Structure 1
Amino acid sequence: TAPPLTPDSRRLVTRSDGQELEIVSVGPESQGVYRCEAVNGAGRDSAEVRLTVVEAPSIDEANLVYDMRGRVDKPAVVECPVRGTPPIAITWKRNRMPLNESARIRIENNGQRVTILRSEVSDTAEYSCTAENRFGRISRSFNLMIMVPPTFVDASIGPYVLHRVVENSSLVLDCTATGIPAPNYLWTRNSGGIISSTLAAGAPAANPALIGSGHADNYTCAAHNAAARVSRYFKLVVITPPALVEGSGLVRVTVREHEFTRLRCTPDGSSRANVIWFKDDQPIPSTSEIYRLTDSDETLMIISPTRDESGAFQCQLINEAGSVSKTYQVIVQVAPRFPRDFIAGPETKSHRLNDAAELDCPAQGNPEPRITWIKNGIRLSVDDPRYQFLENGRRLRIRQVSLDDASTFSCEASNMAGEVTKTYDLQVVMRPSIRRGLELVRIVEGEDIRLRCDFKASPTPITVWKKDGRQVASDGRVQVRPETLIISRANDSDAGVYTCEVRNNIGSDMIRIEVVVQIKPRINARPYQIVQAKLNYQIELDCSVTGDPRPTIVWKKGTMPIEESANYRFNLERQRLLITNLEASHAGLYTCEATNPAGVAFAQFQLKIMVEPKIREVPSVVKQAFANQDVTLECQATGDPVPLITWQKNAPAEIPRNDPYYRTLDSGNLHIPYVR
C-alpha cells in the first residue's frame, strides 16, 4: 500500500475538505497513480486516478558550449543535449543548410551529437540543432572554428639556422608564419630572455642594426596561436679577430730526445680561425713524417724529436677579421745511451764461486746521467764492502762471488731526458754438492716412499734417479722430481738400491739410498676353520706364513701361549703345531699369531676331539615277549660326536629307519609293536 500524502506539502495542496488535490509545478516526478479514500463510521470507499506528465523539448543550458574550436586533421564534436517526452526528432544544419552524415561526419547519441572525424578548414561554420515533439519545439545555434597550427612561410630554411657574420655587419632573422587564427610571435635569446612579444600584425623578424660580439647568441622565434606553437632557432656566430688561449709571444720548451711532444695553439673560442704552423719560418707540411697536426691543426705533435728538431716553431691564427701568432723555442735534450759497440740488451755472465767479477755500464747523455746499480730489484749501497763502484758507477766490481750473487744485476742511467737500463744475469758456476742424509730407508708395503736429494749447484743441474742401475721414469705410481722421488703404495718390487746423480757442466755428485720394503705377514690358511681328531691320536695345525722380515709366530690355546711340551711340538720354525696323544682337554680354540714390523696376521683353529662309540652293556641280551605285545630293545651308546645307531635282524642287512614295523627311536632303542 502506497504511503498517504501529506496535505501540507509545498507541492501538494488539498481543497474542498479533501475532495480536491492540487499539484503545484507538475514535473516528471509527479507521474503515478493517486488514490483518495473516504471514511466514516458506516464504512470506507476509495477511487484511483492515474496522472501522466508530458514535457516539451528542452536543452541543458548548463553544459552547453556555443563557441567551439577544433584543430585541423583532428576530431571535432558539437553537442546539443536535449531532453523531453519522447519521441523527439532532432535535425542539424550547417550554415542554415541541412547537415547529413558522410564518411567524415557522424550524427550520434540519438542526434544529440555531431562528430567530425577529421576536421578541415571548411568545417568552420555555424551549426544549429532543432528538437521537436508533439508538445513543443526548440532550437540552438553553435559556432565552430577549425584552427590551423602555425607554419613558417619559408620552410626550406628549417627549424635550425646558423648565421656566421663578421663583426659590425647587419643581419635579418626571418620568422614569418601562417595559421588560423593568425599567429602571434615571441622572440627570445639564451642570454637575455624575451626580446619582444608581438601580435600577428607586428614585425616577424629580429633586425640588429650593427652586429657586435655581444650579439653572438642563440635566438628563438616562437609563432603561436590557439592550435599550436612552432619555433625556429637561430645560432648567430659573430666572427671577431682571433685570439690565443695560451697568449702570444715567445715560450721556451725543453723536451727529451724521442719523447712525444705537443705544441698547442688554441683559439680562445670567440671566433673560428685557420691555423698555420712554421718551423724556422718555413711552413710545416701536413704530410710530414716528423710532425703531425691534429685537433683542426691546433696541435702540432713532434713524433720523435731529435737534435735536428731544435728550433723556433710558430703558429699563426687567421680568419676574416685578422690574425695572431705565437712562437715556441724548442730545445731537445739527449737521453742516456750506450755506445754502439756495447751490448745494450740483457746479457748473461758466468763466474766461478769466490772469483772476482766486473759488470760495465758505459752510459752517456746530456746532462751527465746518474748511474744506479740494482740487484734483484734492490738498490745496492755504495757502503756495501762486497762491491766497488768504479768510474762514477760505470763499472761494478764484485770482490768475491758468492752463491747469493747468482742474481739479476741492473744498472740504471738517468737524467732529466730519460733513462737507459742494462741487465746482467750473473750465473755463479759451482760443482753440484748433495747433502748427505739417510742411506737406508725402511718402509711398510702400502705406504709412500719419499727419497730426498737436496743439492746445491750452479748452473741448474740435471738430476737422474736410478734403481738397481736402471733409470726411473714417472708413471702412475712414480713421481720423479729434481730433489724428490715419490713412489705411491710401495710393494716388494720397489725394494732395491736407488741412486740420485746431479750433474752440470762443471761436475757431478751422487748419493746411494737402499730401500727395504717390509711385507706384512700373510698366513696361507683360512682365518677360521674347524678341525677334528680322534682321542689318543695326533693332529698337526698348519700356519704357513710369508712376510719380510720373517714373521715371529706365537701359538695360543684360548688366550694362553703354548710352549713345547710332551704333547705340543713346533715344526718349520713354529709354522706347524703338532699335538700328540690327544685327550678331551686338548679340544678348544687355537690361534696362530704371525708378527713382524710391518704388521700382524691371525689364523684360528677350532679343535674337536672325537671319541669312538661304546654301547652300554645291558643285564640280559635275551628278551621274551608275548605275541601281539609291544617290545623295546635297548641299545644306548656314547661317543663324540654322537654316534648313529643302526639295527640288524638275523642278517647283515640294516633295518631301515623308516621301516613301518620296526621303529628306531631317537634314543637308539628299537621298538617292535605287536610282536609276532
Structure 2
Amino acid sequence: MYDRATTLIIGYLFLAGSSLASSELVFLSEPSPSQAVLEGRPATLECRTSPNLRVHWELKGEPLDISSRRYMVGTDLFIVKALHDQDRGPFTCVITDADTGESVSSRPAFLDITWLDEVVKVKTVGKVPTASGGDLHLSCVADGSEPLQIQWFKNGDGLKTSGKINTTGYDVLVTGVNPLDNGVYRCVASNAASTVHSYNRVSVAVPGEQWAQIIVGPEDVVAKRGSNSKFDCIYQFADVIEWYYKQTGPLENSTKYNILPNGSLVVLNVSENDEGLYSCVGIRGESTEVPQIYSASLRLAYLEDPDDRTLVPLTDGNLRLINEGGDLEVGCNAPAGLPKPAVSWSRGSKGQILSLRGVTKADAGNYTCIITNLADTKYVSFLLAITVEPEITQHPTDLMVDEGGDALFHCEFAGTHKYSSVQWFKDGVPVRGPRYIEKQGFLNITGVLPSDQGAYLCQVLTKPFQPAYSRPAQLTVKEKLKFVPRPINTNLELDTVRKVHCRAQGAAPPVIKWIKDDVEGEGFPEHVSDINGTLHFNKVQSSDKGTYTCIASNYQGIINATIEIDVVVSPKFTNLPSNPTEVFEGEPLMLDCMAEGDPKPAIHWDKNSNMEGFDKTRFKQLENGSLLIEVVQASDEGKYGCTAGNSGGLKRYEVSLIVRGSESYRVSDGNDVNSTLGGSVLSKTVAVTLGAAGAYMVLVIGLMAYCRCRSRKNKTPPSDAQDPVLQAEAGHSGERKVCNGDAGGHSDGDLTAHSHQSQLSSRSYGKLPVTRDHLTDMMVLGGPETDVDGYQVRSKGQAQTPGTATKDYDAFSQRPLPGDGTYLKPPLGPQRPRCQELPRIF
C-alpha cells in the first residue's frame, strides 16, 4: 500500500498539470543482502525510494508474480510463508522513472531459510532379521538444513552407541540380533526449524525358545477427544499378556481401561491425560528371561483456531475489494492441527488457493474457507465486493475568510461510495483536529486562524485503485487587527533600564504608539522613548509611574490597550541575624529580619521550609518583621528562613539555629556523637572532683586524729613504753593507735607516706638537728585537758621567749638532742593511759 502523503504529492503534481523533471534514481533503503528465516515463517524485504518512482520486484532476473503468498506492501515485498525451494532468491528491487523509462536494480537479496521436511521415514538396509545371529541395519531418511540431529528409539527408550548397538549419523546398526533386541524401532529428526517423528516404524521379532512370539503388535493411534481407542496385541507362546502406560502398570480393567480376552487394550473416553506410550508385554511362564515388549503411542487429535493470518494477502478486516474484470487470489493457511487439516472453499475453488479470473458482479458475496480434521472443523470467511475507479466530478474552490469565521470546502466524486473514503489535505499533510469536520465530501473549518491559510485538496480512495485527487483550492485568511500579545500591567524597578513592548498585527502592518495618562500629543521625558511600539526606559524614575495606553491602527481600524506601570523598589535587608545563631535552651531569642523597599515589603518566616512549623504559644513575629522565641527548646533547632517580598520581587535569607544545653553542650536525642562525648567528659570531671574532695576530707580527719593521739602519748610515763621516737627509728611506726576510743593518726612515717610520697615529707622529723635552745613556747596543742604545751623552733642567736625555762620539755621524752648532750624532761602532769594499738587503716 502506498503511503498516503506520498501518493498525494504524485496526484497533486499530476492533476495540477505541473511539469516534473526526471528524478535521480536513488535507493533510500535497499533489501538486506542476506536474511535468516525459518521455513513457514513470514519475511519482509525492504525497498524505499523517491515517491515519484515506480517499484517492482524480480526473482532470478524475472518479474515476480504477485500472489496470495508473496505480495507488495507499499514498496516492500512481503512473504507470508517462506519456502526453501521457492524463496531463496536472489530477489531484486527495481525502480523506474516513468518519464524516461530508465530503471535501476538494487543489490541482490537472499533468504537463508532453515527448513526440515515434514516427512521422516525409517528405512531398512537389507532385510529385518528373523532369526538370532543376524544384523539389524536401519536408516532414518530426513531432509533439511544442517546441522540435523537424528535420534533412535526402541519401545520409546533412546538408543546410544554401546556394545553391539552403534548409532552413527542417520543409521543404527545392531549386530548379532537375539530376542532381547526385539521391539519397535523409530527415529526423530530435528534442527532449528522443527522436530519431526518418523511416520512409520520397524518391528523386530526374532523367535526364541524362552520367549513369547509376537503375532500382531500395537499400532500408533490418533484419537478424538472423548472417543475410545484400541491397541491390538497378540502373542504366541505367551502365558500372560500385560499392558503398561508409561511407567504405570500392569493395567487392569477399570472405568478407564478395558483388557479384551485376546489381549487387546481399549482406552475409554480419551483425554489429554491419556496421551503417551503404551507397552504390551508377553510373558512365558517357565522362562526366566526378560519378557518381550512392543510399544505404540496414543496422541489426541486437535485443531487450533484460525487467526488474522489465516487468509492472505493480509487485510484490516474480512473485506476484499476488487475492480470489475480484475483477478483475485486468496490463500487459506490452515492452523496447526493433528492430523494435518484439509482445506477447501465453499465456492469457487477446491484447493487451498481461491483464484478468480475476470471478476464480474456475479462473483461478489461471501466466501468461506473450510478447515477440517479428525478433531474439529473451522470456518473463516471474507466478503468480496466489486468497486469502480473513483472520478472527481466537483473540485473545491478558493475561499477568503475573516479570521474567526468558518470555511467550507466541497468535493464530489463518482464511484463506489460505500467502499470509498475521502481524506482532506492541507499543503500535502492530512488535516487533523477538532476544528476540522469532514463529512460526505465536505470539509468545514471552524474558528479560522491565520495558520489555516494554505492549499487544500481532497483525496478519494477506493481499493484496489490508486487514489484520485482534486485540484487544490486556496484558503486566504483576512487577519484581524489585534495585539499579539495584549500588553499587561508591569512593575519597573527604580534606577534600572527596562523595556515595555506592544505588538500588533492585522491584514496590513499597523502603526503602534504609546500615550501616558490618556494625554495625547505630549512627549515623554528624555529618559523615555517610544520606538516602534516599544517603550524604552533609560534608568527608571519614580515619575514614570502611571497609566499607559498602546494604540495600534491601520485601514481596518484602531485598537488600544491600557496598562498600569508601577515603579517599585525590590526588597533589601537592613538587619539580619548572624548565621549560625547559637542559644541556650530555656532562654529567649530574637531573630532580627528587617527589610526596606517600595512598597514596604512583607516579612514571612519559615522553619525548615515549612511556614506552619511554629509553636504559636512561644513564637511571635513582631511588627518590624523580627521573630521572637520566648522560651527556646531543643526542638527549635533547624534552619529559619526570612522572606521579604513586595511587588518588586522576593528576597530570602536563611539562618541556622543551634540550641545548646545549660553546660554548653548541644541538646540532642542521644543520637548525636558529639553530645554523647560531651556528657561523658562532664561525668568524668564530676567524678574526679568528688573523689579529690573525699580524699582531702579523709586526710584532714587523719591528721587531726594523729595529733590528738600523739598529744596523749606524750603524757604517758616513760617506764610504761618505749620512746615513740625510738620506735619510729626502729621501723615500728606503722601502727594506728586509739586513745580512750578517740580516733588516732599515723606516725610520722605513715603520715608522710600518704602525703604524695614526697621525699621531704618521708623523712623522720625525729632526726632533725634541733636543740633545746632552739625551742620556744608557741601554743597549746589540743584542748586544755591534754596539758601538753608546744614549742616553736627558733634560729641561732634568737632570744628565748618567756616561759621556756618553766616548760622545758617536749614529746621527745628522754631523747638526747644532737650537739649538746642534754635530755628533755618527761611531762610533769598526771599520767594518761596508754593508747591501745589497732591495725592500720591508712
TM-score (norm 2): 0.25
Higher Rg: 1
* Structure richer in strand, relative to its length: 1
TM-score (norm 1): 0.29
* Structure richer in helix, relative to its length: 2
